[in-house]
Amino acid sequence: MNVDAFLARRAERTERALADYVDAWQGVPDALREAMRYSLFAGGKRFRPALALGAAEIVSGNDDVALPAACAIEMIHTYSLIHDDLPAMDNDDLRRGKPTLHKVYGEALAILAGDALLTMAFDMLTRTKDLRVIREVAQAAGVTGMAGGQVLDLESEGREISLDELRRMHECKTGALIRVSVRSGAMLAGAREDQLAALTRFGEHLGLAFQIADDILDVVGTEATLGKPIGSDANKHKSTYPALVGLDRARDLADEAMRSAVDALNAFGPEADDFRALARFVVERQR
């Protein structure tokens, strides 16, 4: 199974839909549209959209119905990166190998472009015509999800936290949005409750595997694979899995989470092979 092809095909559709959406608005200040485009089209893997589209395809064989949710979640992910990079937050100069938005357009416009992407994501979400999807995405991005996790992350800087605290922080900060990506696609495709439950478990374990692998990459990766200086988390005295449990144990935990993700798909047949391959890919990119 070719994960790159799986991701590329879905990324292409997502990017076309995102560009159509951002360009269709009349009367947007040029600088705002340019800033939003700069970050939206900065070479992201479109991992979350691929999850939404992939889940819909597993359930119904057709992923069109999940495209607005896929785009909206990518807009929310992009806003979160823009705000995370701000001087008052992580103060990062590089993102995916390019200068961060505030380095190019200034802080004020970066704050506003992030705000605008978050806001317009909910306009996009109304196209799903599904109140449950809108509500779950808002909650995954909100006080008990991404925004809450970001606060936990801020609070953990410069102090030793426990493995439980680290897991909880990541569940909020990145796990919730990955989980809701899968759930949105499944719900929009009309998943039965047992299908939705299985895909939700897949999303939860995948999110954990993804985060542990990301932490490992920050230690062993190259600047090229990472798109930002290596060791940047350690330099900010952020707690990571390798820092808390060592590199070998972190790799075991990532493998464990990957296997649990794959196991969650047992009720599905070959239609879920892309997701199985994706789970392996997520942890193997740090080898």
Give the binding site for a copy of itself (CB under 8 A): 25-29, 31-33, 36, 79, 83, 86, 88-89, 106-109, 111-112, 114-116, 118-120, 122-123, 125-126, 129, 131, 134-135, 138-139, 141-144, 146-148, 150-152, 154-155
Residue 17: how many other CB atoms lie within 10 Å: 17
Task: Write down the least CB distance from residue 40 to a copy of itself, Å.
Answer: 12
Residue 286 contacts residue 213 (beta carbons within 8 Å): yes
CB 65 within 8 A of CB 89: no
What residue type is 198 in one-letter code?
A: A
Nearer to a copy of itself, 107 or 223 (CB): 107
Q: Which is nearer to a copy of itself, 36 or 278 (by Cβ)? A: 36
User: Shortest approach of a copy of itself to residue 1 CB, angstroms?
Assistant: 35
Strand partners, 126: none
Q: Least distance in Å: CB of 45 to a copy of itself?
A: 23
Tell me the closest approach of the beta carbon of residue 23 to a copy of itself, in angstroms: 11
User: Would you say 75 and 68 are in contact if contact means Cβ atoms under 8 Å apart?
Assistant: no
Nearest CB to a copy of itself, comparing residues 36 and 264: 36
Report how far residue 282's alpha carbon sits from residue 279's, in angstroms, rounded to the nearest whole number: 5
Smallest separation (angstroms) from a copy of itself to the CB of 113: 8
Nearer to a copy of itself, 142 or 190 (CB): 142
- By CB atoms closer than 10 A (0-12, 13-18, 19+), residue 222 is exposed
- Report the residue number, 62 or 91, with the smaller CB distance to a copy of itself: 91
C-alpha to C-alpha distance for 281 and 37, rounded to whole angstroms: 28
Q: How far is the CB of 221 from a copy of itself (least distance, A)?
A: 26
Residue for token pair 């952020």: 238
Name the minimum Å distance from CB 34 to a copy of itself.
11
Contacts of 82 (CB under 8 A, 6+ apart): 39, 100, 101, 102, 110, 113, 114, 117
What letter does residue 231 receive in the DSSP assignment? T
Of the pair 12, 155, the CB lying nearest a copy of itself is at 155
Q: Would you say 8 or 143 has its CB closer to a copy of itself?
A: 143
8 Å CB contact between 200 and 222: no
